């Protein structure tokens, strides 16, 4: 019988760096809260920087606003383990328990799904690490160039800071702070997004199996086997619905804010891509934009897929389809289309604000 090598893909291995484990030790707890507070401190520091710095350069201002929004999304994802730590691990256990209802001939679908998400996780990790390295590389190149211009040692951190960090020790602290913040952001984002994607994919497969089993069921026989099989299908379907509802409860808030902010993040990234001339900066912005589109696609695609499966099963139960929705935003592919359309409109608006002949 095929087996899942790791479920979910890599079993939260990456966020162990942030202290996220099922049974945390004292060190894990300290690391966990340090990581969370470090991310939370990012926003006030950059708001302080914006308040101290005159908004003379629209590109710099837009990048700061983009980073603030990106940080908010990451904090919300981290909050999944702050507020729903038990629920996140229990959801994994619930999926593992329901695997017992899967027959041998049906299991290869889950193995294939697991393998695909393991590859997705690796590709996602490569993309985010490239962005991280480009932030560091841009800071190093800018430091060298500025030092050569000034004929003195000058330092440029990966992110802006309200503090004067030209002292080597202060710069080292700021550099490590920025690096750790980026690494925590990357690892948390990779984990939450692939976790959600794999769970949603598994959920869709379970819905397919319920439909296939029901279609194969011969109710005309009226024998004990048919009745027992029908009860098993009903129980299986009930378990799948319970999993879907748990997923909605766990992810609806973070999904709402991600989809709410992603259009403006893409807008600011698009504007920055057009306005900057540094090839490394453009590469960094382009990859980051692809990652953000990928994040939105993960949540909207799976939201649409789960909804489509549920519409079919509305005929089997007198309830509304389960939809990943919070507030006024619904996680569906039409929402992704609106996000991309809005981003393009915002970029055009920002371009119109740029003075003639500006760089």
**Which pTM value belongs to this model?**
0.80
Q: 103 lies in a domain?
A: yes
Omega before residue 115 within 30° of 0, cis:
no
> Are 158 and 284 a contacting pair, CB within 8 Å?
no
* 257 lies in some domain: yes
For residues 127 and 139, the answer to whether their CB atoms sit within 8 Å is no
Whether residue 54 is contained in a domain is answered as: yes
The confidence score (pLDDT) of residue 308 equals 47
Q: Is residue 94 part of a domain?
A: yes
pLDDT in tens, 291-348: 888 888 888 876 555 544 444 444 444 344 445 555 556 666 677 677 777 777 766 7
Cα distances from 44 to residues 18, 68, 74, in angstroms, run: 21, 9, 15
262 pLDDT more than 80:
yes
Q: How far apart are CA 325 and CA 252, in angstroms?
A: 6
Concatenate the DSSP letters of all residues of 179-232 into one string. HHHHHHHHHHHHHHHHHHHHHHHHHHHHHHHHHHHHHH--TTS--HHHHHHHHH
CB 309: neighbour CB atoms within 10 A? 21
CA–CA separation, 51 vs 162, rounded Å? Answer: 9
Distance of CA 3 to the CA centre of its chain: 27
Domain that holds residue 25: 13-352
Mean pLDDT, rounded, of the chain:
80
* pLDDT (tens digit per residue) in 60-95: 888 888 889 889 989 988 998 998 888 888 888 888
* pLDDT one-digit tens code per residue, 205-232: 888 888 888 888 776 656 677 778 888 8
**Is position 357 within any domain?**
no
- Whether 5 is in a domain gets the answer no
Helices and strands (H and E) in the chain: how many: 8, 2
Residue 229 lies in a domain: yes
95 contacts 199 by C-beta, under 8 angstroms? yes
Q: Count up the domains in the chain and report the number.
A: 1
Report the Cα 190 to chain-centroid distance in Å: 6
Residue 185 lies in a domain: yes
What integer pLDDT is reported at residue 234 of this predicted model?
Answer: 84
């Amino acid at each position: 019988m095929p087996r899942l090598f790791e479920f979910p893909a890599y079993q939260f291995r990456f966020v162990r760096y942030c202290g996220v484990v099922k049974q945390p030790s004292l060190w894990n707890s300290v690391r966990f809260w340090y990581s969370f507070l470090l991310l939370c401190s990012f926003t006030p520091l950059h708001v302080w920087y914006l308040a101290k710095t005159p908004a003379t350069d629209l590109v710099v201002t837009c990048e700061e606003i983009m980073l603030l929004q990106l940080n908010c999304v990451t904090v919300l994802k981290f909050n999944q383990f702050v507020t729903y730590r038990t629920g996140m691990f229990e959801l994994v256990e619930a999926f593992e328990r329901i695997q017992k209802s899967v027959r041998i001939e049906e299991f290869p679908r889950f193995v294939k799904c697991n393998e695909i998400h393991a590859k997705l996780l690796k590709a996602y990790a490569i993309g985010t690490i490239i962005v991280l390295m480009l932030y560091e590389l841009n800071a190093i190149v800018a430091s060298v160039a500025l030092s050569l211009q000034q004929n003195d040692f000058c330092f440029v951190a990966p992110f802006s800071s309200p503090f004067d960090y030209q002292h080597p020790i202060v710069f080292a602290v700021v550099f490590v702070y920025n690096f750790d913040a980026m690494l925590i952001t990357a690892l948390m984002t990779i984990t939450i997004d692939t976790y959600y994607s794999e769970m949603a994919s598994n959920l869709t497969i379970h819905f397919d199996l319920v439909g296939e089993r029901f279609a194969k069921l011969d109710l005309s026989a009226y024998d004990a086997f048919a009745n027992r099989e029908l009860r098993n299908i009903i129980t299986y379907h009930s378990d799948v619905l319970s999993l879907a509802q748990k997923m909605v409860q766990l992810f609806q808030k973070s999904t709402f804010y991600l989809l709410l902010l992603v259009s403006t993040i893409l807008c600011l990234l698009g504007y920055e891509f057009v306005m900057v001339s540094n090839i490394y900066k453009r590469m960094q912005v382009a990859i980051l934009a692809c990652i953000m589109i990928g994040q939105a696609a993960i949540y909207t695609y799976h939201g649409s897929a789960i909804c489509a499966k549920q519409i079919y099963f509305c005929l089997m139960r007198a309830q509304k389809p389960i939809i990943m929705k919070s507030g006024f935003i619904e996680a569906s592919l039409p929402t992704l289309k609106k996000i991309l359309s809005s981003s393009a409109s915002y970029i055009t608006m920002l371009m119109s604000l740029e003075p003639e002949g500006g760089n």
